[in-house]
Structure 1
């Protein structure tokens, strides 16, 4: 009998992230839904989508508009899981106005999340946040800026708790205070809230092992030979043993060991296609470092996993084969590291 958990989701924000006037056009939400719903591998399909509350949709939407959006997704036989709060007009470190805006965007995202749960289309998932600050700005005053990020995240957690929501901090090298595995761990431990977790993306967290944006936190040796699989696996164990206990949201992804940015998005871990021959990860095997504990037992810490593939060219995004390959990879992850419920 096939495993039916974790549920398999596709991210909608790759249609938005890295797009825009100085890049390629946004891939519309409806197109992303259609491509997701059409993916099929031996009769297995995506179970849902994770969504971004920017560009594709207005975080200020009314309750009636929330219902219409939920109905649209439901017509494709998809659930909604995790959501990205649009906190970038604010910042977790900076002026009071910036931090107040950050908190307000978290509140609005949590309201939408709560309504979607009440409708019944969102049975699991978190609200994703980042610091909305660059590593360079963070480096100008690491102690003071880290203190501000922690305090802002604590306030955000308190707001989220009022809505019964969990927050997850995105592990990505372009966000200050989250730009290395050690700064991320310090942030999580310092926030110290039961509804504060970590969102691991395999493409981004691979860059943690390489010390991008914070060389002193490198795990892999300089000039690492990617043919040295044993050393890479040791580095992945070090990384995941530290951050796995915090992980409440997980993105399956591939990376070729480089950084990339497009549109207005800063350089971060490059997302590669599922079958990219230049990918440095054994995606199915290496997902197990996040989905299983140090003794190899399944953690079952989250009920769905998501594919994240931002900043792909639009001709890739609008090819059905792209999504079939992604779905096939996720099915393999679930077969190896999933469970039945």
Structure 2
């Protein structure tokens, strides 16, 4: 029997930036992120690719076409491909999706630039698929001042962004993360996506971020697990994950494997969101391989094959942890287990 070779296994570059910077630890450069990704190996299996954040200092989105070619050559030199990319839609270069007319125009323009890069990476042969990731670029506190009106504005901005993305043959994925207004709970996320009403938008599920949806952070009324939940009660946890994934799976077009310990965390200028834990963290509340199946299989347990690749997202790890080879081998090992349990084989 052949070893599963799909979905392809990707790491991400943006954990070298997110939560780093002047008010935290130093940024880890893209070359280092690529080197660590390419060096990881478990039982002869290596990462197939990388997902890319198109923001400084890893990448200059206002650079030339030559910069795109250099990025493709750099990634290709490590025998990696590129999958999904993150659009830098936040202020000051971007703007809030529910902000002023000027804010929203900057948001859409950043999506346009990102889709241009995405298209050219495909044309260069280094990018086989994936999505362009977005969020609302605004916090839940600001959103809560006018939920209906602000959701309408976010949806309008996302619609405009979707129309731009369609011109480049791209799909947009809105990441479910509790720090983004209109996306901070599973119900708010669905309301926003339904209001957008475009065929080329979907949901990016992250096992750590979406796990916090169960606990109702920033939206207690949408909590799924009981307030006095006992973490030893695996049956109730599984039922909660099934309810969550039943609601969001039909929207899901991109998937991040991750671990969470049931707490929020933020470093640098990044607001608190679901804490990403290392794959071997003893406080992790998820059975990574088993619980990934709630997203990768339908309600009847059949493989959806909805994603040609899956990505590990481990933001806001200390640099000391991120620069240890064991960290990436443990992560790769966890990803391999997910693929063995929920993957498939295709002749190539």
Classify the TM-score, shorter chain: over 0.9
Unaligned runs of 5+ in 2: none
After TM superposition, the runs of 4+ consecutive aligned structure 1 residues lying more than 2 A away are: none
Quick check: 1:24 aligned with 2:25?
A: yes
TM-score under structure 1 length normalisation: 0.99
1:2 maps to which residue?
3
Describe the superposition over 1:11-63 as per-residue Cα deviations: whole angstroms up to 9, x where unpaired. 10000000000100000100000000000001100000001011211111211
Which structure 2 residues correspond to residues 113-192 of structure 1 after superposition, within 5 A?
Answer: 113-192=118-197
Quick check: 1:82 aligned with 2:66?
A: no
Q: Please, what is the CA RMSD of the aligned residues?
A: 0.5
- Local SS of the residue matching 1:203: coil
1:278 maps to which residue?
283
In structure 1, how many angstroms separate the alpha carbons of the residues matched to 2:258 and 2:63? 31
In structure 2, how many angstroms separate the alpha carbons of the residues matched to 1:300 and 1:158? 26
| 1:227 maps to which of 232, 245, 265 | 232
After TM superposition, give the deviation of residue 138 of structure 1 in Å: 0.2
After TM superposition, give the deviation of residue 242 of structure 1 in Å: 0.4
Which structure 2 residues correspond to residues 1-341 of structure 1 after superposition, within 5 A?
Answer: 1-55=2-56, 56-89=58-91, 90-341=95-346
After TM superposition, give the deviation of residue 306 of structure 1 in Å: 0.2
In structure 1, how many angstroms separate the alpha carbons of the residues matched to 2:212 and 2:63? 36
In structure 2, how many angstroms separate the alpha carbons of the residues matched to 1:199 and 1:225? 28
- Local SS of the residue matching 1:224: coil
- Local SS of the residue matching 2:213: helix
After TM superposition, give the deviation of residue 8 of structure 1 in Å: 0.2
TM-score under structure 2 length normalisation: 0.97
In structure 1, how many angstroms separate the alpha carbons of the residues matched to 2:285 and 2:214? 12
- Local SS of the residue matching 2:254: strand
After TM superposition, give the deviation of residue 192 of structure 1 in Å: 1.5
Number of aligned residue pairs: give it.
341
Unaligned runs of 5+ in 1: none
